[in-house]
Amino acid sequence: MDGLYIGSFAHALGARKRHLRESAEAGLLRSAPEDLEAAGFRWHHICEPDGSAYDLARSAVAEIAARGELTDIDAIVYATCLPDGGTRTGPVRDVKELMDFPAGRLQAEFGLSRAIVVGLHQQACTGVLGALRVAGALLTTEPGWRRVLCVTADRFPDGAWYEQAYNLISDGAAACVVGREPDVCRLLTVHQITNGGLGRAGDDETVGTYFAYTHRLVREAAARVGLAPAELDWVVTQNTNDKAWQILARLLGVDHARVWAPTLPDVGHVISADPVVNLSALLDSGRARPGQRIALPMAGFGLNWQCAVLEVVGR
């Protein structure tokens, strides 16, 4: 991925901010609220009943457009965990209803007439990192292209549990742009591991595999850019149980002070959007310095694990 950069980060959250105890009383959680609080969770964000995943995606992309950064877009890579946007109910007779593709709607709404659209799913919470990888591949194989918009958006269906594998879920979206011109970060690599045999694993089995696979993922991703995990300047994680990375940091030889997920109590686990939300918080904090290398590891159902490695260029 030589010569590729990433920037124009934006995200949007469900309009209703609820404390996890409120959601527990409403029957939207499976675990006891005190167990989720012990994991570091406090609040999460839920769409209004008429809100859709597309509304979230549009809000995130609109933020990029408002900054004047939605220019020269040659492709849109749109990643979802729940392909139907989480709002469809009832039987379908005319399958054309299933082909109201959100990436095409974004292309039309924002006037990105020269952009092609690519839909990406079946990577669950790792999808936004998969979108970065696809964007890099597209730019590598299309020498005349300049910029690819990456978007992820999901909202859970009304009445669904807002908890998966002991993590408090938020509806949300995130977007960023991968391009050839120098930007906030250089995109060094994206690494993926998939074990489809674990696709039907239960929550306890999923948690049990998390440590071994994430340890392997970070080691292999760092090695792709000539680093050991201990040489990474930051590890920006997804918003999962905050005790998990206390363990993983020791296993990887990473200083836990360099593990970054400050938004976990306030926004919960925003499905695939977590790395954009937490990376934005790191960049906004002023603590990331030019030349520093950042790993973004993610785990998702399927089961999938992906990790991007970035190098900070500047704001």
- Mean of per-residue pLDDT scores for the chain: 94
144, 223: one domain: no
159, 226: one domain: no
pLDDT digits (tens, 9 = 90+) for 127-186: 999 999 999 999 999 999 999 999 999 999 988 999 999 999 999 999 999 999 999 999
Residue 119 has pLDDT above 80, yes or no: yes
State the average pLDDT over residues 7-17.
Answer: 98
Give the whole-angstrom CA distance, residue 204 versus residue 258: 28
The count of domains in the chain is 2
Report pLDDT for 84: 67
172, 196: one domain: no
Which of 157, 179, 201 is where one domain is finished?
Answer: 179
172, 245: one domain: no
What does pTM read for this prediction? Answer: 0.95
Q: How confident is the model at residue 213 (pLDDT cuts 50, 70, 90)?
A: very high
Report pLDDT for 201: 82
138, 26: one domain: yes
User: Whose CA is closest to 79, among 311, 284, 296, 276?
Assistant: 276
CATH number at residue 284: 3.40.47.10
55, 130: one domain: yes
pLDDT digits (tens, 9 = 90+) for 71-113: 999 999 999 998 766 566 667 667 777 778 899 999 999 999 9
Which of 116, 149, 179 is where one domain is finished?
Answer: 179
139, 262: one domain: no
pLDDT digits (tens, 9 = 90+) for 270-307: 999 999 999 999 999 999 999 999 999 999 998 999 99
pLDDT digits (tens, 9 = 90+) for 219-232: 999 999 999 999 99
78, 207: one domain: no
Its domain, for residue 299, covers 185-312
15, 127: one domain: yes
21, 153: one domain: yes
204, 149: one domain: no
Residue given tokens 């990790």 in the structure block: 307
290, 146: one domain: no
The three-state DSSP-derived secondary structure of the chain is: CCCCEEEEEEEEECCEEEEHHHHHHCCCCCCCHHHHHHCCCCEEEECCCCCCHHHHHHHHHHHHHHCCCCCCEEEEEEECCCCCCCCCCCCCCCHHHHHCCHHHHHHHHCCCCCCEEEEECCCHHHHHHHHHHHHHHHHHHCCCCCEEEEEEEECCCCCCCCEECCEEECCEEEEEEEECCCCCEEEEEEEEEECHHHCCCCHHHHHHHHHHHHHHHHHHHHHHCCCCHHHCCEEECCCCCCCHHHHHHHHHCCCHHHEECCCHHHHCECHHHHHHHHHHHHHHHCCCCCCCEEEEEEEECCCEEEEEEEEECCC
